[in-house]
Each structure stands twice: as structure tokens, then as C-alpha cells.
């Protein structure tokens, strides 16, 4: 009888674990780098449950083999920092420490074994929360251990509490519930910077430089910008009242706005004349490719024959969006980028998805020191393919893929899971993207310092790079009758000359024309 009961109990436990595996399968990266994960911590003890989830994800998915001694050292150190001012004695021992308070001690040593180190960390956690009960919470200790662990990884691997994770996902989605205005603090006044078209704010007639003095009857003076933004955002179809002061008329008006889903504008289009189009992409969100397609359709209506794609100050975003963007300017099936994870067989290639007429037109891509991640994928693929002329500055050099994981408590983690390479095999993190035409900002000093010495030439000998000084280019344009003012973008003007008048049939021709222009510029 006891044997039968025991067998039934074991079958019950087995069913529970099978159910957990079946209903919570390991997610895979799909349209966006997002994965849901179940809790795998202790079955009966929920202490450090989220820490264990994070550790398991790092152990199984981080781009580099985890150094468990380093990870747990950082996690424990951050926990101790929460109480170090409370008369805690910490003495080092071989590969570990001795903690002492009021004659009570706990000692531990760390190894390169994850499970052994987990026991040590749990011991430190129990000692600290017991000896400092009422002064530090379990939640604070666990969060500290997670932050310590994550800080010991690369700069792009980040843990986010539930509120931070929700905000991050909203930005990644490229849309939110709000009123459609970009705001900032100017002299402690909540000032409107820009109004998003077709938004509640636009329909209400709110303008840039208007000042918001009250939100729902509450004065905004003294609030932080994050608090102010949170007050304006909310669920769609809810209302918010704002008092808007217009400096030009010195009139304050009470306006009621109904929140709605706001699509963040990441793409801007402009017809530069001479059948040349200009498209600026500020980031890569879920809306970017749809917005780019609208811009390209407008370009067709404007009979655009040459295009300038501006990726300056673009910090990146979603990998799949960068692939879609690059696809418009490549031939279908052409390699755009490939990622390489920790294991040799953990490799994935991404190819062009479309076959459009834009891959036959002259294209210039603008980058600078702040062009990173997804923008480097686009620039690198178009450079390697010979489809585009790259102008500007050496890019940032952020060639790693982050996958987003959701924890069981609603928090989340952005973890570096692989690195990406241009079609010719250039490691973007090491080399960045080197422009073929580099601008030296010798007047305004717009550029940051050159990239670190370890960022070598990205596939093109430094001697072949065309270097044009800002002062020379400015003088050259003035001689050509161009009016130079604060609205003038010298790099756009140079790019337009290099690929148009007449439209150059290939990158080689555009590069040859750029060299010819550079020679002319140097003679002025």
C-alpha cells in the first residue's frame, strides 16, 4: 500500500513538472527580440526566485560562456553594499569572505560552479536579511544581487523592474497611449518641442514652444520630466486636461485632450529638388518599415531618381526592422547581416526580402559617431553590397544582439545573446562602419573624438578614405552660390552633389565623382 501511494505521489510530481514544461515552452526570437520565461526557482521557497530566473537565462543564453565566479562575486558585493554602513565587518578569505555582525558570522567561498555559488549567495542573503531585519528588505537584497550580476556583463545587458520594462516595451513597440507631443524642461517650464502629426495635440492646435502650466488641475512646477510625461500618457480613450500658455500671445487656454495610440515617427521624408530625396530614420521601432514604405511611395510620386538615407544619431533598435529597411535597397535574397552566438552552430543569416526599383537608384548613406546597432547593420550591408556610398564619420561600433526576456514578476531583462557581422564578415563591435567619405568638423567641432584605437578600418584601407574638411566644404559651397546658415547641412549638400546631377549609375561612379569633388574642394 505504501509503495502504491509513493508511486502515485511521484507520478503527481512528474505530472506537475511535465505540465510546466509543456505550458511554458522556451520562446524563440521571432519578429522582435522578445521571449517569455517561466519561473524555475525553488518549488517551496520563493526567496531569490527572480535572481535564479535571471541566472538561468544568463547561463543558457549569454553570448559569452559565463564566468560564474565573477558573476556571483559581483552579485554578493552589491548585496553587501545595501548594508555596509550598518556596522558589518567584511574580511577576505581565499576566493570568498567572512561576514560578521555582533559576533555572528557567515563565511563563504566561490568556485566556478554555478550551483555551489548559488548556495553561497543564498547563505549571504539569509545572513543579511536576518541580521539587518527591518533595515533592509528581501526585495531590496534580491534586486541588488540581480543588478550586481548584470553589471558584471557587457554594457548592453540590463535588468529592468516592472515599470522600467513596461516603458521599454512601449518604446520598442513604437506606439503608446498619449496626446502626441514631445516635451522638455526649459528654465523649469514644461515646453512643447514638437507636435506629432494627426495626434490629439495637433488637432487641438497646440504648437511648438507652447508651455504647459497645469495637468489635470495640478501645477507642473517642480516635477521631473519623467513625472510630467507619465501624467500626459495613459490608456487610450481617457482624457487629460492641460493649461497651455502661448508666449507669443501671452494667453493661457484650458484644453481637454483624449488620449489615443500614438505612433512614434521614426522616418522623415523631404524632396530636396533635382529629383533627389532625403529620408531620415531616427530609430528602428516596429513602425519604422511601414513609415519608410510611405516615404518611398511619396518619393515615387515625386519622381525621385537619387536618394540620401540619413542614419546619423540613430542608436538602433529592432534587428528585423533593420533587415526590412535594408531590403528596399538590395536585391532579393542578398545577404544583409549574420549573427553568431556562443556556440559555433548558433548562426543565423538575414537576407533581403524585397525586389524593388530602389536598388537600381543612386544611394548615399550618412552616419556619424552616434550611429549604432541596427543603423550600422543597414549601413554595413549597403556598403558591402556596393549599393551605397557611405559618408560622415566612423560609426559607434555596437554590433551585439539583445534578446528581451520577461520575468515571472513582470520585470524584464535585455541580454546580449549574439554578435552581428556585415556580409563581408566585419565584426561591427570591433571595427564599426568606416565611411568612404569622411567629414572633419574643424569649425563647429560637431564630432566626438575618433573611435577607440581598437576599432580598425572596417574593410577599407584608411588611405582610400576621402577626407573633406568642413571649412573647405563651406568655402566651396559659397563659391557655388550656396547660402550658408544655421539650417545648412553640409554633408547632405555634399552627398547630393556626389550621387546626382546627373544621377550616378553605380556606387563606383558616385565614388569617382566624390573624389573629383574633393579635389575641387581642396583647391578652393
Residues designated as active site? 373, 384, 398
CA torsion 407→411→416→420, rounded to 10°?
A: 100
Rounded Cα distance, 110 and 177, in Å: 47
Radius of gyration of the chain (CA): 28
Chain-centre distance of CA 323, in angstroms? 15
Burial class for 396, CB neighbours closer than 10 Å (0-12, 13-18, 19+): buried
Distance separating alpha carbons of residues 371 and 382, to the nearest angstrom? 15
Contact, 405 vs 35, CB < 8 A?
A: yes
The residues facing 107 across adjacent strands are 98
Q: How far apart are CA 471 and CA 111, in angstroms?
A: 59
- For the CA atoms of 513, 516, 517, 518, the dihedral, rounded to the nearest 10 degrees, stands at 120
CA neighbours within 13 Å on the CB side: how many for 338?
13
In 238-395, alpha helices (H): 288-301, 319-327, 374-384
* Contacts of residue 89, Cβ cutoff 8 Å, sequence gap at least 6: 98, 99, 100, 101
Q: Is 90 helix (H, G, I), strand (E, B) or coil?
A: strand
Walk across the sheet containing 89-93 and list its strands: 89-93, 96-101, 104-109
Amino acid at each position: 500500500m505504501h509503495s502504491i501511494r509513493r508511486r502515485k505521489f511521484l507520478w503527481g510530481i512528474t505530472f506537475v513538472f511535465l505540465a510546466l514544461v509543456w505550458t511554458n515552452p522556451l520562446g524563440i526570437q521571432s519578429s522582435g527580440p522578445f521571449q517569455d520565461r517561466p519561473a524555475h526557482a525553488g518549488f517551496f521557497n520563493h526567496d531569490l526566485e527572480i535572481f535564479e530566473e535571471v541566472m538561468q537565462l544568463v547561463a543558457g543564453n549569454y553570448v559569452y560562456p559565463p564566468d560564474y565566479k565573477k558573476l556571483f562575486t559581483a552579485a554578493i558585493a552589491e548585496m553587501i553594499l545595501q548594508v555596509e554602513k550598518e556596522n558589518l565587518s567584511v574580511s577576505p578569505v581565499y576566493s570568498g569572505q567572512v561576514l560578521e555582525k555582533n559576533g555572528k558570522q557567515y563565511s563563504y567561498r566561490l568556485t566556478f560552479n554555478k550551483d555551489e555559488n548559488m548556495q553561497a549567495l543564498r547563505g549571504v542573503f539569509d545572513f543579511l536579511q536576518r541580521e539587518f531585519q527591518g533595515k533592509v528588505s528581501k526585495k531590496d537584497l534580491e534586486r541588488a544581487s540581480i543588478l550586481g550580476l548584470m553589471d558584471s556583463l557587457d554594457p548592453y545587458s540590463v535588468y529592468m523592474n516592472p515599470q522600467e520594462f513596461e516603458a521599454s516595451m512601449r518604446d520598442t513597440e513604437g506606439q503608446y497611449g498619449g496626446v502626441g507631443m514631445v516635451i522638455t524642461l526649459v528654465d523649469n517650464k514644461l515646453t512643447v518641442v514638437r507636435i506629432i502629426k494627426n495626434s490629439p495635440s495637433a488637432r487641438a492646435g497646440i504648437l511648438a514652444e507652447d508651455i504647459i502650466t497645469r495637468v489635470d488641475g495640478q501645477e507642473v512646477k517642480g516635477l521631473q520630466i519623467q513625472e510630467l510625461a507619465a501624467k500626459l500618457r495613459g490608456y487610450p480613450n481617457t482624457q487629460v486636461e492641460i493649461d497651455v500658455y502661448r508666449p507669443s500671445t501671452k494667453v493661457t487656454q484650458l484644453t481637454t485632450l483624449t488620449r489615443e495610440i500614438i505612433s512614434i515617427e521614426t522616418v522623415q521624408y523631404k524632396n530636396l529638388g533635382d529629383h533627389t530625396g532625403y529620408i531620415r530614420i531616427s530609430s528602428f521601432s516596429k513602425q519604422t518599415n511601414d513609415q519608410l514604405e510611405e516615404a518611398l511611395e511619396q518619393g515615387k510620386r515625386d519622381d525621385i531618381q537619387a536618394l540620401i538615407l540619413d542614419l546619423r544619431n540613430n542608436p538602433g533598435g529592432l534587428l528585423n526592422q533593420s533587415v526590412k529597411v535594408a531590403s528596399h535597397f538590395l536585391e532579393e535574397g542578398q545577404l544583409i547581416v549574420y549573427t553568431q552566438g556562443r556556440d559555433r552552430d548558433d548562426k543565423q543569416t538575414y537576407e533581403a526580402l524585397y525586389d524593388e526599383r530602389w536598388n537600381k537608384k543612386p544611394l548615399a548613406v550618412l552616419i556619424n559617431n552616434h550611429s549604432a546597432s541596427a543603423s550600422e547593420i543597414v549601413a554595413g550591408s549597403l556598403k558591402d553590397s556596393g549599393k551605397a556610398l557611405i559618408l560622415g564619420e566612423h560609426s559607434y561600433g555596437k554590433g551585439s544582439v539583445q534578446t528581451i526576456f520577461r520575468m515571472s514578476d513582470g520585470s524584464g531583462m535585455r541580454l546580449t545573446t549574439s554578435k552581428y557581422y556585415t556580409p563581408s564578415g566585419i565584426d561591427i563591435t570591433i571595427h564599426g562602419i568606416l565611411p568612404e567619405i569622411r567629414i572633419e568638423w574643424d569649425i563647429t567641432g560637431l564630432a566626438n573624438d575618433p573611435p577607440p584605437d581598437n576599432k580598425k578600418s572596417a574593410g577599407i584601407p584608411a588611405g582610400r578614405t576621402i577626407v573633406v574638411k568642413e571649412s573647405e566644404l563651406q568655402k566651396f559651397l559659397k563659391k557655388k552660390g550656396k547660402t550658408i546658415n544655421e539650417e545648412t547641412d553640409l554633408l547632405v549638400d555634399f552627398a547630393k552633389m556626389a550621387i546626382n546631377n546627373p544621377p550616378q549609375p553605380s556606387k563606383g561612379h558616385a565614388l569617382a565623382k566624390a573624389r573629383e569633388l574633393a579635389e575641387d574642394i581642396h583647391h578652393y
